Amino acid sequence: MVTTSIPTTPFSDQRPGTSGLRKKVTVFQQPRYVENFIQAIFDNVEGAQGSTLVIGGDGRYFNDVVVQTAIRMAAAHGFGRVLVGQRGLLSTPAASCVIRKHKAIGGLVLSASHNPGGPDGDFGIKFNMSHGGPAPESFTEAVFKRATAITEYRIVDAPDIDLSRIGPTKVGEMNVEVIDPVADYAELMEQLVDFGKIADLFRSGFRMRFDALSAITGPYAKAILENRLGAPAGTVVNGEPKPDFGGHHPDPNPVHAHDLMDLMLGPDAPDFGAASDGDGDRNMIVARGLFVTPSDSLAILASHAHLAPGYAKGLAGVARSMPTSRAADRVAKKLGINFFETPTGWKFFANLLDAGLITLCGEESAGTGSNHIREKDGLWAVLLWLNILAVTKKPADQIVREHWAAFGRDYYTRHDYEELETAPANELMETLRKKLPALPGQRFGGLTVQSCDDFAYTDPVDGSITPKQGIRILFEEDARAVFRLSGTGTSGATLRVYLERFEPDTNRHDLPTADVLAPVVQAANEIAEIAARTGRNEPSVIT
């Protein structure tokens, strides 16, 4: 089988972000675009000769084409073995699991996470390292540098392999194993949570709805919840991964998972509701009659994790991304364990996990995880919740309310202003930075600014410094507003405004979130001049 070197020229837009390279499908469909980027990755993988590489993705449009290209290019670069999910499918957490279990040198994860799919949607490629987590900035910058100077890519001339059949085959001298995408992941889950107790919970008549949003978690949820744990058939809905996610927006939040919300807030709500996103690394938790914010979910999991076998010895520590509410801080303080506030991006958690400084971690954007892999993990979070419900024999909404009674409630919401023009969005942030020194003591929306800063993070493991990770405004009334420009979209800029207010009084734990946060919203809008600078009087999405 012949290895061919194909002449090429660079594309100027192949700088990976915190989660790899994400662009519109039509961008990736340009001739040589995929090949250039994968070549730039492989040129930076040390020790590729004879090593094991994992390849898989979330099944979105164009996934099948890129998987075959990646396999042929891997064969041309001397990898000894490729493990690829059946039909080219692997959830992001499962990819991390497979990398770690089989001691792979890394993996190509093909996904744009929670971004829309289909021919007009988004696609993404990222490289996960041997620990199973996303590549650090030093690696992604080296990939970008290589991509800007690339002159050729290498690929073997070989037909597509049959990805529908599990088993071994060869491409050139390289062994290819098509694997069951669920098996290794399910085995790991059984080590972490008590399958027996959860099965007993379902046998008792417990009812659940899991909405996979026609994305990758469907096969995993069906195999584990219905087949292994005995949840009734139909517990998992929208369980078949589709290239366009069946028209769903695969972001598990109350806006996009509205069918689940309607059910859980309705008269015949099951006992527990959950959803996951495009690539399976995010989760949404809904108790009967009550949406559980990701920030609260992280805190509740941290305080109850010891009820599951995998965490029975306690936690080393907890970490949250800076925009995530401070609910987990209070749990860590009570438990007397490590606590860290990091920038947004799972690679920061990975350093802490690798160093043994934390066990659980999470982001307000519905990503929660632990030291079992180096990615966030949507279905794992759902299973840990089920373990807690099975052991405590309490309904989910009672678990939440008891947590608020013990620790206080952090009222929390996020306002997203999507697809803004990039220049005005950047100007808004720069103007806000210049205002910071003069803000303390000023009043906005009936609140008084206590302190403010532009968050910078010094990694306690490697000493690296990451500046400009979001602007924090803390008010004397124990409220907070955070401003960030997001890097997960593929067009324009998204301004995210995170708003929270702490309420210790149990008599005030059932107020409408919008009412409690109205002064914080007003203050944030006045300080940042959002309407004047963006032309938007309302956010695109409120979660």
131 vs 224: CA distance, rounded Å: 25
Q: CA 405, CA 509: separation in Å to the nearest integer?
A: 8
Which pLDDT belongs to residue 137? 86
In this prediction, residue 18 carries a pLDDT of 72
Q: What is the mean pLDDT of the segment spanning 327-352? A: 95
Q: Which position has the token pair 């307000």?
A: 364
- Nearest 10 degrees: CA dihedral of 154, 89, 308, 312? -10
Cα distance between residue 515 and residue 24, in whole Å: 38
Mean pLDDT, residues 467-473: 96
* Residues contacting residue 138 through CB under 8 Å, at least 6 positions apart: none
Rounded CA separation 237/260 (Å) = 10
The whole-number average pLDDT for the span 211-238 is: 98
pLDDT above 90 covers a percentage of the chain that reads 94
Asked if pLDDT for residue 118 goes beyond 70, the answer is yes
Per the CB < 8 A criterion, the answer to whether 64 and 85 are in contact is no
pLDDT tens for 274-292 read 999 999 999 999 999 999 9
Amino acid 410 reads: D
DSSP string of 307-351, one letter each residue: GSGGGTT--SEEEEETTS-THHHHHHHHHT-EEEEE-SSHHHHHH
H/E stretch holding 381: helix 378-392
Token pair of 104 as six digits: 């792979």
**Which residue in 78, 83, 82 sits closest to 49, CA to CA?**
78
Note the pLDDT tens digit of each residue in 38-81.
999 999 999 999 999 999 999 999 999 999 999 999 999 999 99
What is the chain's length?
Answer: 543
| pLDDT beyond 80 at 487 | no
What pLDDT sits at residue 488?
52
Confidence label for 491 from pLDDT (cuts 50, 70 and 90): low
Would you state the structure tokens that stand for residue 497, as one six-digit string?
Answer: 């405004």
Taking residues 315-321, report their average pLDDT. Answer: 98
Q: What is the CA radius of gyration of the chain?
A: 23
The pLDDT value recorded for residue 125 is 98
- Provide φ and ψ at 71, rounded to 5°: -65, -45
**Closest of 32, 122, 15 to residue 69, by C-alpha:** 32
What distance in Å separates the CA atoms of residue 409 and residue 324, rounded to the nearest whole number? 14
Computed over every residue of the chain, the mean pLDDT equals: 96
In terms of Cα–Cα distance, which of 274, 265, 294 is closest to 209?
Answer: 274
In which band, very low, low, confident or very high, does the pLDDT at 501 lie, cut at 50, 70 and 90?
very high
Helices (H), 29-117: 33-42, 63-76, 92-101
Mean pLDDT of 299-324: 98
What digits encode the pLDDT tens for the residues 147-173? 999 999 999 999 999 999 999 999 999
**Percent of the chain residues topping a pLDDT of 70:** 99
The three-state (H, E, C) secondary structure of 354-386, written as one string: HCCCCCEEEECCCEEEECCCCCCCHHHHHHHHH
8 Å CB contact between 264 and 288: yes
Terminal-to-terminal C-alpha distance of the chain? 53
For 426-493, the DSSP string reads HHHHHHHHHHGGG-TT-EETTEEEEEEEE--EE-TTT--EE----EEEEETTTEEEEEEEESS-SSSE
Distance, CA of 34 to CA of 27 (rounded, Å): 9
pLDDT at 486 exceeding the cut of 90: no
Q: Which residue has the tokens 């959950």?
A: 274
DSSP letter assigned to residue 228: I
The answer to whether the predicted template modeling score (pTM) of the entire model surpasses 0.75 is yes
86 Cβ contact partners less than 8 Å away, ≥ 6 residues apart: 163, 164, 165, 166, 178, 179, 180, 181
* Gap between the Cα atoms of 197 and 194, Å rounded: 6
Please identify every residue annotated as catalytic. Answer: 113
- Listing DSSP states for 143-196 in one string gives HHHHHTT--EEEEE--PPP-TTS-EEEEETTEEEEEE-TTHHHHHHHHHHS-HH
Question: How confident is residue 461, by pLDDT bands cut at 50, 70 and 90?
Answer: very high
Look at 305 and 487; give whichever has higher pLDDT.
305
User: 3-class DSSP state for residue 513?
Assistant: helix
Highest mean pLDDT, choosing among 70-74, 138-142, 533-537, 538-542: 70-74
pLDDT tens for 394-435 read 999 999 999 999 999 999 999 999 989 999 999 999 999 999
β-bridge partners, 239: none
Per-residue model confidence (pLDDT) at position 2: 84
Q: What is the mean pLDDT of residues 450-469?
A: 95
CA angle 346, 364, 106 (to 5 degrees): 20
